[in-house]
Chains A and B, each alone.
Chain A
Amino acid sequence: DGGITQSPKYLFRKEGQNVTLSCEQNLNHDAMYWYRQDPGQGLRLIYYSQIVNDFQKGDIAEGYSVSREKKESFPLTVTSAQKNPTAFYLCAISTGGYGYTFGSGTRLTVV
């Protein structure tokens, strides 16, 4: 997926459990984003980060947390406070005037 790797591909979460989704990029881009995709809905922005050690909330940040300790890495934690976490999660980097490059996604399911 063009230098952006998400893992795992599938993830199962039990009630009350925190889980962390990984996003790594080797394209040396500053801006990274996390989106959530639900059936029949557009992608919704969870968090984004423009530079290391800085990140901003998107439209649906409640129940999620992120960190940006390294330029290459932008992990997303789905906390137990997120009551409806089952969704397809997508990480992306911005390539200036050439759109976003997305990872292959992580499908999270609550069991």
Chain B
Amino acid sequence: SQKIEQNSEALNIQEGKTATLTCNYTNYSPAYLQWYRQDPGRGPVFLLLIRENEKEKRKERLKVTFDTTLKQSLFHITASQPADSATYLCAPAINNNDMRFGAGTRLTVKP
């Protein structure tokens, strides 16, 4: 069965460091992969989308990589800030109606 795994339930880092979150998937061949941020009690907010033919995508302090051979995406936040503390969800998708979400990694950035 299809499985989406995010590396850890929680990640704690010091302000200013780079946070790296991992998303692995099995039995699934997504055409693209999305990353979302979710704050407690709120809906997820879209951050980035990367397609299967793209190796890397950047947006300000965010960088996403997508390796279809390893079946893995890495999500980096550089120069992290306490305001980056949230849960981050990965969501590989075959199409808009077949998108799977990981359980998320809760990131805490300490001042």
Binding site for B on A (CB under 8 A): 1, 6, 31, 35, 40-45, 48, 50, 56, 90, 92, 94-95, 97-105, 107
How distant is the Cα of A42 from the Cα of B97 in the complex, in angstroms?
16
24 contacts between A and B (CB under 8 A): A1-B43, A6-B43, A42-B100, A42-B102, A42-B104, A44-B101, A56-B97, A90-B43, A90-B44, A92-B43, A95-B46, A98-B46, A99-B34, A99-B46, A99-B47, A100-B46, A100-B99, A102-B43, A102-B45, A103-B43, A104-B42, A105-B41, A105-B43, A107-B41
Task: Report A-chain residues with C-beta under 8 Å of the C-beta of B47.
Answer: 99
A42: which of B41, B96, B103 is its contact (CB, 8 Å)? Answer: B103
Instruction: Tell me how far the C-beta of A12 lies from the nearest C-beta in chain B, rounded to whole angstroms.
Output: 16
Instruction: Tell me how far the C-beta of B25 lies from the nearest C-beta in chain A, rounded to whole angstroms.
Output: 11
Q: Does B4 contact A (CB under 8 A)?
A: yes
Contact A41 B103 (CB under 8 A): yes
Say yes or no: A99-B36 contact (C-beta < 8 A), given A40-B103, A41-B103: yes
How distant is the Cα of A48 from the Cα of B67 in the complex, in angstroms?
29
Task: Report B-chain residues with C-beta under 8 Å of the C-beta of A105.
Answer: 41-43
Contact B89 A42 (CB under 8 A): yes
Q: Number of B interface residues, CB 8 Å? A: 22
Task: Report A-chain residues with C-beta under 8 Å of the C-beta of B36.
Answer: 99-100
Binding site for A on B (CB under 8 A): 4, 9, 34, 36, 41-47, 49, 89, 91, 96-97, 99-104
From A43, which residue of chain B is reached at the shortest CB distance? B101
How distant is the Cα of A50 from the Cα of B99 in the complex, in angstroms?
15
Contact B43 A97 (CB under 8 A): no
Interface centre among A44, A95, A99, A101 (most CB of B within 10 A): A99
From A58, which residue of chain B is reached at the shortest CB distance? B97
Having A94-B96, A99-B49, one finds 15 other A-B pairs with CB under 8 Å, namely A6-B43, A42-B4, A43-B91, A44-B101, A90-B44, A92-B43, A99-B34, A100-B34, A100-B36, A100-B44, A100-B46, A102-B45, A103-B43, A104-B43, A105-B43
Task: Report B-chain residues with C-beta under 8 Å of the C-beta of A101.
Answer: 46
